[in-house]
Amino acid sequence: MANRKIDDSASVVYEVDDHTSLLLRALDEIGISTHQAYGSTFVMPREKRYLTLDNVSRYLNELNGKPQYRAMADKPYPYLEVRQSSYADRIGMYMMGKFYFSDIDDGGEWREYGQLLLLHEFAHYLGGSGHGDRFRKAYLHLIAEEMSPELSRYMQIRMYEETENIKKMKGK
Ligand SMILES: [Zn+2]
């Protein structure tokens, strides 16, 4: 997401990210690891959280060290840089081997860099700059591998549902 243009496919992903992040936090706070939805019980993981950009960098480079992911990238980089930036669109941004994150160091627990945000940005490294099918495939694959397959399936259903909602709203 190199600019602030928000198309429908981006709003679908943002909406599902925000929803999922709130849901995981709420489940964590009440100490429950399952969620009932769509007639199923989903076992939900805890979202890992990273306090500093050093930790963020370590995590993203750890992912980059896995051959299965590097093979998916259009242009693999041996080392991924992580920088602080006030220009980042919605907290995070990926461009040409570099990740940019806004300063969210305000001391509040809420403002840590969450694993979903990091996997979202890492999925741009693997799946390009848009939020269409290629990006989603990479993102959901990362969620399944690094968090849990059930969370990935849950988010996939939400993305489908959200896409249908937008179509209905627009009368398509
Ligand atoms: Zn994005």
pLDDT in tens, 125-168: 999 999 999 999 999 999 999 999 999 999 999 999 999 998 89
Q: What is the rounded CA–CA span in Å between residue 85 and residue 43?
A: 35
pLDDT in tens, 53-78: 999 999 999 999 999 998 999 899 99
Q: Which residues surround ligand 1, an ion (CB under 5 A)?
A: 1
Please give the C-alpha separations between residue 47 and each of 26, 60, 77, 115, in angstroms, as whole numbers: 11, 15, 26, 6
Tell me if 69 is assigned to some domain.
Answer: yes
Tell me if 33 is assigned to some domain.
Answer: yes
Reported pTM? 0.90
Q: Count up the domains in the chain and report the number.
A: 1
Residue 162 CA to ligand 1 centre (angstroms): 16
Residue 11 CA to ligand 1 centre (angstroms): 10
Residue 34 CA to ligand 1 centre (angstroms): 27
Tell me if 1 is assigned to some domain.
Answer: no
| Per-residue pLDDT band at 106 (split at 50, 70, 90) | low
Residue 28 CA to ligand 1 centre (angstroms): 25
Which residue range forms the structural domain that includes residue 12? 8-169
In this prediction, what percent of the chain has a pLDDT beyond 90?
A: 76
Average pLDDT, the chain: 89
Tell me if 79 is assigned to some domain.
Answer: yes
pLDDT at 134: 95
**Residue 105, pLDDT above cutoff 60:** no
Residue 10 CA to ligand 1 centre (angstroms): 7
Please give the C-alpha separations between residue 70 and each of 51, 54, 100, 143, in angstroms, as whole numbers: 25, 21, 20, 16
| Per-residue pLDDT band at 87 (split at 50, 70, 90) | low
